[in-house]
Chains A and B, each alone.
Chain A
């Protein structure tokens, strides 16, 4: 029972490159979330999903896209990376929207 996993753990990109971050969960949760964490700014919600095939914008969605083709996976894409997207990205899941969230280990992304 792995819980919530994220791939990759670390990545360095050049400006303009693209990449996809994968979040996978085996908890059968409907709700999945992508956050970015920056020093002094806490967690900011990028996009979220309330179920397979659905996505919605969070607080800071610009420059990111997401897809939830399967219930257990939530992908975060950067089409053209910018230095401002250097951050630690966390995925989280929950059984209901108002209950606790379970977090993955994070992906540290550096854009040069």
Chain B
């Protein structure tokens, strides 16, 4: 079955630390990849997306993600986190075989110590 795995359930970092959140998927074929962010008490917002082209994608607020096709991965990175990055982060994947659906990972909660 198609699935998306986020292995880090809760990550705690200090301000200015570097961040990498893992995302692996099990689709074959062509995929579209997304990272969404959910700030406390808010709805999900798109952070960045990959459809094709340069596998290193830059998003809002200094986030970036790298698509590594051979590893079925789309990890999210940020060189220096801020307290305001405290949120839950969801990786998501869609494909032309996923029947009109985007599959979301279970999320990673990021807590930043001021």
A100 touches B46 (CB 8 A): yes
Ordered by A's residue number, 29 sampled pairs between the chains whose C-beta atoms are within 8 Å are A35-B104, A41-B106, A42-B105, A42-B106, A43-B44, A43-B90, A43-B104, A48-B101, A56-B100, A58-B101, A90-B44, A92-B44, A97-B98, A97-B99, A97-B100, A97-B101, A97-B102, A98-B32, A98-B94, A98-B102, A99-B94, A100-B46, A100-B49, A101-B102, A103-B43, A103-B44, A103-B45, A104-B43, A106-B43
| Interface presence of B84 (CB below 8 A) | no
B70 within 8 A of A: no
Chain A interface residues toward B at CB < 8 A? 31, 33, 35, 40-43, 45, 48, 50, 56, 58, 90, 92, 94, 97-106
* Contact between A105 and B32, CB atoms less than 8 A apart: no
Q: Are A40 and B94 in contact (CB under 8 A)?
A: no
Which residues of B does A touch, CB under 8 Å? 9, 32, 34, 42-46, 49, 90, 94-96, 98-102, 104-107
* Cα distance, A1 to B43, chains bound together (Å): 17
Closest residue of B by beta carbon distance from A41 = B106
